[in-house]
């Protein structure tokens, strides 16, 4: 929801999430299989650079400055 809402708006994000849930439920019922949850941090693990840019952008919007040093 959060990723879509930042780009498209809250109402469109809500409809998109409802559509995604409806499609997932249909596939579970149609194929008679269990639902495999990818996890809350799926997109963060998939593309960590995007997640880092998002966190920096959110911190800057709050008036914070963040600097990341390599470990």
Residue 44 scores a pLDDT above 80: yes
Whether pTM exceeds 0.75: no
**Contact status, residue 13 vs residue 5, Cβ threshold 8 Å:** yes
Domains of the chain, by residue range, sit at 1-36, 39-70
Rounded alpha-carbon distances, angstroms, from residue 60 to 15, 48, 51, 53, 55: 29, 18, 14, 11, 9
What pLDDT does residue 41 have? 86
The model's pLDDT over 12-30, given as tens digits with 9 standing for 90+, comes to: 999 999 999 999 899 999 9
pLDDT over 70, % of the chain: 100
Instruction: Write down the pLDDT at residue 62.
Output: 93
């Amino acid at each position: 929801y959060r990723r879509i809402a930042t780009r498209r708006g809250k109402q469109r994000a809500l409809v998109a999430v409802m559509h995604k849930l409806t499609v997932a439920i249909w596939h579970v019922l149609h194929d008679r299989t269990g639902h495999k949850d990818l996890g809350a941090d799926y997109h963060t693990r998939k593309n960590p650079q995007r997640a880092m840019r998002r966190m920096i952008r959110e911190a800057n919007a709050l008036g914070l400055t963040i600097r990341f040093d390599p470990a």
